[in-house]
Structure 1
Amino acid sequence: MSPKRLSVVVTRRLPEPVEARMAELFDVTLIGGDTSPDRAALTEALPQADILVPTITDVIDAPLLAGAGDRLKLIANYGAGVDHIDVATARQRGILVSNTPGVLTEDTADMGLALMLAVLRRMTEGMAQMQQGVWEGWAPDALLGTRLGGKTLGILGMGRIGQAMARRARAFGMDVHYHNRRRLHAGLEEPLGATYHERLDGLCSIADVISVNCPHTPSTFHLLNARRLKLLKPTAVVVNTSRGEVIDENALTRMLRAGELAGAGLDVYERGQGVNPRLRELPNVVLLPHMGSATREARLEMGDKVLVNMQTFADGHRPPDQVVPSML
């Protein structure tokens, strides 16, 4: 007799090859579609799940986990960030949590560089002129931007994505400085030509561009608060492809509107889809809909990671990408 297949609840449609392979290996129930299910549907489905496959838009908190019963044993997150999951409560209840690290690195770093270029070179303003049919031709002083070469990039969070940003910035002739919980060892730091700052205040004071590449945790909430944002040069640009909660968005908006910062390129927001409407009005701000990792390759590789974590668990082993509170 073949062993009983594990029951899996999936909250969103995933790439077709991922869904097909998952259905071959497990008994799969999809409770969402192209959008996340409501909380009532998730609450109802969870007690029947051995494994839950959520995405970053699903809030997996302590009250939800309390209603899951004893059957749920793995949350195989489709995504690298886990700030939407109460990992500590899951651990207390004997539920393992896994994620999909590594596969988003290059795509997210590409988007960070794209945002830098778009803001510094005023690309969206130029696009607007062309799309509105108001371009009056080339002029020596039209849409003057700033070159990347020779500028100082301050990286907040020097993990995989921060290091990938550093490599790209170096190729454009930027000076790389960074702040991290721990200094990189010389074997990583030296090839990047990166200078470590133990104090974030010092990094903010010298950066021409500051790139947020750290996760959202209790210790990084509003790490770029109003006081630190005021340490930035008025010619500085802020780029965020990580998590919106790391920046005090209201303070950032006030400073941009007052001309105390030169611009911002944002792919994530403090209140998720609730983008500050005052940001939309600013020509020196580039806003994207959380698409830093949105490549076909990344989405398939994320699914592959989820499947490996699930199958390893089903085989009686710890998932290779298990997340524990000490990592956060």
Structure 2
Amino acid sequence: MCIHGRLIMQNQKLPCVLINSFEEPYYVNEDHVADLKKQFNLVTMQEFLENKTHFSQEIQAIYLWGGKPVIDKELLQSLPTLEIIVSSGAGLDHLDLNLIASFGVKLANTPHAVTNSTADMGLALLLASARRILEGNEIATSPDTKSFSINWMGQEVTGSTLGIIGMGRIGYKIAQRAKAFEMKILYHNRNRRKMEEEQAIGAYYCAKLDELLQQSDFVLLVPPLTPQTYKMIGKRELGLMKPTAILINIGRGQLIDQDALVEAFQTGIIKAAGLDVTYPEPLPRSHPLLKLRNVTLTPHMGCGTHQCLLLMKETMVESLLAALSGLPIPNEVRLK
């Protein structure tokens, strides 16, 4: 019998799960709500705050979609029956893992679900930035355009050098895609990949980040955000890059010193950037990055495909049901 079947037999009522909201902007995906309601009693943060006395003894799990609701000490103290938090996506930088562990609460995320869609996004930004797709679209659709210049050019991708910073699941998938473009692949990672994994994609390990930055035509960031990677690309690092280099960030905005990045564009240190992530999100409407034609910005949509979101939901539900049934939890995050 499946996990869901055993759970229903064991419980006369549906498990109580805390979510953020059914409304914009941080809401459970509306396409998933009907299915979730078949398996769980969904309680919004507003409902919880209006009736803490009742729900504090009922809620067994938190369904964290898009990083909301915020998990802090006050919330955890008010949920004595909480067993598990399931978080969408792979990143955990929005969570205090030590705090969660101190309350004896389990945690699971969805690292495998986002791999392909985020890798696709990284390559899409690389191609769009290199070939100046957005600028080209502006020219092609402008009412002022009378003719197309034959000398309007982008940058060749095929045969160029790609430097990947962070060769985890997503980084490796990007390398696989880049191989089809006959790119030379360099990578810098906390731990070196196995030799057979390097050979499969033709990747070369750079123990020193500086070596990768100096040689790469494209630098793509996809490491997790940690104290060690915070603003890992600053003024010094940008200065090491080729003046023709393009920087792509699909990790976290705080991996880059944005003030240094703006200065790099203003002084011609690097050529262009494609950023799916910034800090804050969204940027203030007056931010200088919004005014630069050689910066392609997208709204943190790396995992934004129907297939990815569905797989995240299914993965989160699987982990929830396993935890509430006392079974091994898929994708459990081992807390300290």
TM-score normalized with structure 1 length: 0.90
Q: Which moved more, 1:44-53 or 1:112-121?
A: 44-53
Which residue of the partner structure matches residue 28 of structure 2?
14
Aligned residues with identical type, % of pairs: 32
Question: Aligned equivalents of 1:281 and 1:63: distance in 2?
Answer: 40
**CA gap 1:128/1:45 in 2 versus in 1, 3 angstroms:** farther
SS of the aligned residue for 2:38 comes to helix
Which residue of the partner structure matches residue 286 of structure 1?
296
Unaligned runs of at least 5 residues, structure 2: 1-8, 22-26
Which residue of the partner structure matches residue 162 of structure 1?
171
Which residue of the partner structure matches residue 25 of structure 1?
39
| One-letter amino acid matched to 1:262 | K
Q: Is the 8 A contact 2:67 2:87 kept in 1?
A: no
Q: Is the 8 A contact 2:238 2:269 kept in 1?
A: no
Q: Which moved more, 1:155-164 or 1:49-58?
A: 49-58
What is the root-mean-square deviation in Å for CA atoms of aligned residues?
A: 2.4
**CA gap 1:308/1:158 in 2 versus in 1, 3 angstroms:** same
Q: Is the 8 A contact 2:252 2:277 kept in 1?
A: yes
Cα drift, residue 6 of structure 1? 2.3
| One-letter amino acid matched to 1:60 | V
- Superposition map of 1:114-125 within 5 A: 114-125=124-135
Asked if residue 140 in structure 1 is aligned to residue 150 in structure 2, the reply is: yes
Cα drift, residue 46 of structure 1? 7.7
Q: Which moved more, 1:312-321 or 1:21-30?
A: 21-30
Which residue of the partner structure matches residue 253 of structure 2?
244
Question: Aligned equivalents of 1:201 and 1:285: distance in 2?
Answer: 23
**CA gap 1:123/1:46 in 2 versus in 1, 3 angstroms:** farther
Which residue of the partner structure matches residue 62 of structure 2?
52
Deviations 1:158-212 (A, max 9, x none): 0111011111111112100000110000121111100001111211111111001
Q: Is the 8 A contact 1:247 1:270 kept in 2?
A: no
Which residue of the partner structure matches residue 225 of structure 2?
216
Q: Is the 8 A contact 1:56 1:82 kept in 2?
A: no
SS of the aligned residue for 2:42 comes to strand
Which residue of the partner structure matches residue 93 of structure 2?
83
Question: Aligned equivalents of 1:41 and 1:244: distance in 2?
Answer: 35
Question: Aligned equivalents of 1:74 and 1:283: distance in 2?
Answer: 45
Which residue of the partner structure matches residue 117 of structure 2?
107
Which residue of the partner structure matches residue 6 of structure 2?
none
Unaligned runs of at least 5 residues, structure 1: none
Which residue of the partner structure matches residue 319 of structure 2?
309
1:63 aligned to 61, 67, 73, which one? 73
Cα drift, residue 305 of structure 1? 0.3
Cα drift, residue 16 of structure 1? 4.8
**CA gap 1:231/1:62 in 2 versus in 1, 3 angstroms:** same
| One-letter amino acid matched to 1:201 | D
Q: Is the 8 A contact 1:59 1:84 kept in 2?
A: no
Deviations 1:17-61 (A, max 9, x none): 6323322222221347xxxx9x97899998352101112342634
| One-letter amino acid matched to 1:27 | N
| One-letter amino acid matched to 2:219 | I
Question: Aligned equivalents of 1:207 and 1:44: distance in 2?
Answer: 58
Which residue of the partner structure matches residue 98 of structure 1?
108
Question: Aligned equivalents of 2:50 and 2:246: distance in 1?
Answer: 42
**CA gap 1:280/1:40 in 2 versus in 1, 3 angstroms:** farther
- Superposition map of 1:246-265 within 5 A: 246-265=255-274
Which residue of the partner structure matches residue 4 of structure 2?
none
TM-score normalized with structure 2 length: 0.88
- Superposition map of 1:130-209 within 5 A: 130-142=140-152, 144-209=153-218
Question: Aligned equivalents of 1:307 and 1:9: distance in 2?
Answer: 13
Q: Is the 8 A contact 2:159 2:183 kept in 1?
A: yes
Question: Aligned equivalents of 1:215 and 1:267: distance in 2?
Answer: 14
Q: Which moved more, 1:64-73 or 1:190-199?
A: 64-73
SS of the aligned residue for 1:230 comes to helix
